[in-house]
Amino acid sequence: MASTTLPLSTEALLAFDREHLWHPYSSTLNPPQVFAVASASGTRLKLEDGRELIDGMASWWSVIHGYSHPELNSALHRQIDKMSHVMFGGLTHRPAVELSARLLEITPSTLTRVFFSDSGSVAVEVAIKLAIQYWAARQQPRKHRLLTVRGGYHGDTFGAMAVCDPVTGMHSLFSHALTQHIFADRPDIAFDGTWHEDAFSNVEQSMRQHHMEIAAVIVEPIVQGAGGMWFYHREYLRKLRALCDELDTLLIFDEIATGFGRTGKLFACEHAGVNPDIMCLGKALTGGYMSLAATLTTADVAATISGGEPGVFMHGPTFMANPLACAVSLASIDLLHETHWSTKVLNIEAKLRTLLEPCRSLSAVSDVRILGAIGVVELHQAVDMYRIPQLFIERGVWLRPFGRLVYLMPPYIISDAELATIADAIYAVLSDPPLVMRIEEA
């Protein structure tokens, strides 16, 4: 095999990638076409072949300030000269303490303890373990299952997979090996729909039937992300909070995708004015620079676990509270407030409502929905994932649809003209359904 230590041509780079790298949700027998990025700045990705793309994905929703932001770059430069990493067992450091303080300032006031981890999936694992260990400490080990709703997505590790949708989700292959939890119907009233009490009857029935074994309820507040990009009514969360209180059940909010302004509120639970017992954060926490997640909880949960057997919380990631990640997270949160994120997100929402409206007239489209800096065009059929990214790249934009969903979650710094370019590309590509739809086998 030829050495890969010397500079590779773009063709050789892509050939090596195709032969040896395994990309997410892909086959090694029929690898997807991938596009080599040479650099990224602002809202733009520059490919190795010289083409430039407007990024409508913010690298899976995380790069909220755009790429290579000078203030975030500076925060990392300052920190790396002091300390790139140190174990968090028995040690602490200023970036972790300052970031924790800032998170407690901006999240619901009932949350007072912060546990850092490596990724969003692990933050969910931590939340699940907190809930189970909480009830074990209260001498109620029977309460060890979770209740969630269909259509949800919480990550790809085993604990997180077990609370993803077991039928329409990505993890049905592993169902026999996963912990069996309790699933209620997906909230079926849209965010801007008219509330009716029947919408809560299924989850209420499930909770009342199983509450003696339910350790916690876990949901993505307001927006179900990778499970279908569905925006549901805020009253559902209010009812859920009240029922959890009545039945003495913990409530976990997975704000990994929705946190840090994406829905028009700093955290999606603010739409309902509801506080969780445990909250998971990730993705945009670092401004998309590095992998870091946090699981926040109440003083009661922390004290109960610490007062039971074995007297400590049983989790400890090697790279927990990495100083570099904490430093850039702190800078990202400061930047959010300094740059008036709310005005930017509400402008994106208003523009998307106008720009994506023409898509409703297309025969391939079943629905268009927008909330905050999220735009979704839902189709009648699944897209061809081997063809559709290339069609968007030909129009100068980067989007990565999945299933029946073409969606965008751009950086907050995106301009009106760039949004219009993306919307025009979506309309143009979807105007020719045979090109983009996956051919189903008979």
Q: Give CA–CA dist 248/424, Å, rounded.
A: 50
**Ranges 160-169, 391-400, 432-441, most confident:** 391-400
For residues 293 and 419, membership in a common domain is answered with no
How many Cβ atoms from other residues are within 10 Å of residue 50's Cβ? 8
Residue 331: inside a domain: yes
What number is the average pLDDT over the span 17-39?
A: 94
For residues 105 and 241, membership in a common domain is answered with yes
Give yes or no: 289 in active site: no
What number is the average pLDDT over the span 215-241?
A: 97
What is the domain range of residue 361? 35-65+341-436
For residues 285 and 406, membership in a common domain is answered with no
Q: Are 377 and 405 in contact (CB under 8 A)?
A: yes
CATH of the domain at 128: 3.40.640.10
For residues 270 and 251, membership in a common domain is answered with yes
Extract the tokens encoding 158.
């085993």
pLDDT of residue 420: 98
What number is the average pLDDT over the span 184-210?
A: 97
Extract the tokens encoding 80.
């790396």
The catalytically annotated residue of 153, 289, 412, 427 is 153
pLDDT of residue 160: 95
374-379/397-398 β-pairing: unpaired
pLDDT of residue 5: 64
Q: Last residue of a domain, which of 318, 338, 358?
A: 338
For residues 140 and 222, membership in a common domain is answered with yes
Give yes or no: 153 in active site: yes
Structural domains of the chain, count:
2
User: Residue 6: which pLDDT band, with cuts at 50, 70 and 90?
Assistant: low
pLDDT at 4 over 80: no
For residues 432 and 381, membership in a common domain is answered with yes
Residue length of the chain? 442
In 48-157, which ranges are continuous DSSP H helix?
Answer: 58-61, 70-80, 94-106, 120-137
pLDDT tens digits along 328-358: 999 999 999 999 999 999 999 999 999 999 9
The catalytically annotated residue of 156, 165, 254, 277 is 254
Residue 142: inside a domain: yes
Q: Last residue of a domain, which of 338, 367, 400?
A: 338
Extract the tokens encoding 344.
């930017």
Residue 10: inside a domain: no
How many Cβ atoms from other residues are within 10 Å of residue 144's Cβ? 18
pLDDT of residue 372: 98
Residue 9: inside a domain: no
For residues 345 and 298, membership in a common domain is answered with no
pLDDT tens digits along 108-133: 999 999 999 999 999 999 999 999 99
For residues 225 and 349, membership in a common domain is answered with no
pLDDT at 74 over 50: yes
Residue 370: inside a domain: yes
pLDDT of residue 170: 72
pLDDT tens digits along 50-69: 999 999 999 999 999 999 99
What number is the average pLDDT over the span 381-407?
A: 94
CATH of the domain at 369: 3.90.1150.10
User: Residue 7: which pLDDT band, with cuts at 50, 70 and 90?
Assistant: confident
Q: Tokens 């105007």 — which residue?
A: 431
Beta strands in 225-355 (DSSP E): 230-231, 250-254, 278-281, 293-298
pLDDT tens digits along 370-381: 999 999 999 999
Give yes or no: 412 in active site: no
For residues 334 and 408, membership in a common domain is answered with no
pLDDT of residue 441: 40
pLDDT of residue 435: 74
The mean pLDDT of the chain is 95
What number is the average pLDDT over the span 258-279?
A: 98
The alpha carbons of the chain give a radius of gyration, in whole angstroms, of 22
What number is the average pLDDT over the span 378-385?
A: 93
For residues 88 and 139, membership in a common domain is answered with yes
User: Residue 442: which pLDDT band, with cuts at 50, 70 and 90?
Assistant: very low
First to last CA, the chain: 42
For residues 244 and 299, membership in a common domain is answered with yes
Residue 22: inside a domain: no
The catalytically annotated residue of 143, 265, 283, 344 is 283
For residues 120 and 226, membership in a common domain is answered with yes
User: Residue 1: which pLDDT band, with cuts at 50, 70 and 90?
Assistant: very low
Q: Give CA–CA dist 377/408, Å, rounded.
A: 9
pLDDT at 200 over 80: yes
Residue 173: inside a domain: yes
Share of the chain above pLDDT 70, in %: 98
Q: Last residue of a domain, which of 317, 338, 359?
A: 338
Give yes or no: 25 in active site: yes
What number is the average pLDDT over the span 381-397?
A: 94
Q: Give CA–CA dist 171/75, Å, rounded.
A: 38
pLDDT of residue 440: 53
Residue 382: inside a domain: yes
